[in-house]
Amino acid sequence: MKKTGVVVLAVIAFTSLLWTGYVYDVEALNNDANAAKQLEIIRRSLGSLTEMKYADAKKHYEEFLSELNALAEKYAGTEEALESKFYIGAVHNEMHNYDAAIKCFSEVLAQKEINPNFMARSLYFKAKALIGKGDIVKAKEAVAELRLIEPRAADTFGSELSGMLRIGMEAPTFNVADFNGKPVDLSKYKGNIIIIDFWATWGVPCMQEFPNVEKMYNKFKDKGVQFIGVSLDDDIEDLRGFVKQEEVEWPQIFDGKRWNGVLPTLYHVQAIPTMFVLDRENKVRYIGNDTESITRIVTTLLSESKEMPLFR
């Protein structure tokens, strides 16, 4: 079997432990039979949510978060409480609450006596959360720790970490149609500042951030800044209804494939909202979702003459 095949099989086996009843040994913690039964029920139920649309699963995730937090508090100091903390982090990962997920996995890893296999699981999903957040530096640190315990699992992050766009790189070009069938050719916007916003109506953070995005649009729309939305919605009618209701003026691209869509894949998008700021030469100047930072960067870029060299 080729090496890549071995790695893939190892990762499938490794990640399958996320919702399964994998038992680990914590030397310094006690077991509680009642807590174990409750955790097993929650764990099996969580496994059934991964195939659901996020909008349908969200309410269930929130309910399980409440149950897991209560379990962790009631049985503090037990193996089950620590494992509950891991699953709280896993649920936050599924909900794209990456800061909360990272905090949970860090708390688990602070328990130094945990079994190496459980430590590897926690490092793996902490790295996933860090990548989702866009913190590549800390993600690499977590992967380096993981490599000491489970090298094959660490190897799977190679493409994710090396293939991601970096500040200063030229943005991948595309020529597609928006959801109304109008062409959106990135190359034709060269000479303008471009903001590409990956989002979805089902993303709570996206909806919370939308007023700030709209404020930026109104501030810059007549100053040589082109906004492009890339929707990860499942149903085009959800996007169509929102655009009509909010009178969104900038083009919106939709293909109904979520993370597997052409542009999310091309731009290695791991979380939403994620915005890319491109300068007049289509080079990436910012990746993230902080609209205040984007406003400052765009203001700086607009102050530069087209003939001026790119700052580093």
Among candidate residues 215, 207, 195, 211, the one with its CA nearest the CA of residue 232: 207
Judging by DSSP bridges, how do beta strands 175-177 and 183-185 pair with one another? antiparallel
Q: What is the mean pLDDT of residues 206-231?
A: 95
**pTM for the structure as a whole:** 0.55
CATH no., domain 3-163: 1.25.40.10
6 has pLDDT over 60: no
Three-class secondary structure of residue 161 per DSSP = helix
Q: Which of 289, 270, 284 is nearest to 131 (CA)?
A: 270
- Report d(CA 256, CA 47) in Å as an integer: 24
Using CA atoms in the order 286, 290, 296, 300, what is the torsion angle rounded to 10 degrees? 10
Q: What are phi and psi of 57, to 5 degrees?
A: -85, -20
Q: What architecture does CATH give domain 175-303?
A: 3-Layer(aba) Sandwich (3.40)
Range list for CATH 3.40.30.10 in the chain: 175-303
| pLDDT, tens digit, 9 for 90 and up, residues 12-50 | 445 555 666 554 444 556 788 888 998 899 888 888 877
Residue span(s) of the chain under CATH 1.25.40.10 come to: 3-163
Report the 10 Å Cβ neighbour count for 63: 12
Which is more confidently placed, 162 or 32?
Answer: 32
Instruction: Give the angle 10-154-16 at the CA atoms, nearest 5°.
Output: 40
Q: How far apart are CA 205 and CA 96, in angstroms?
A: 9
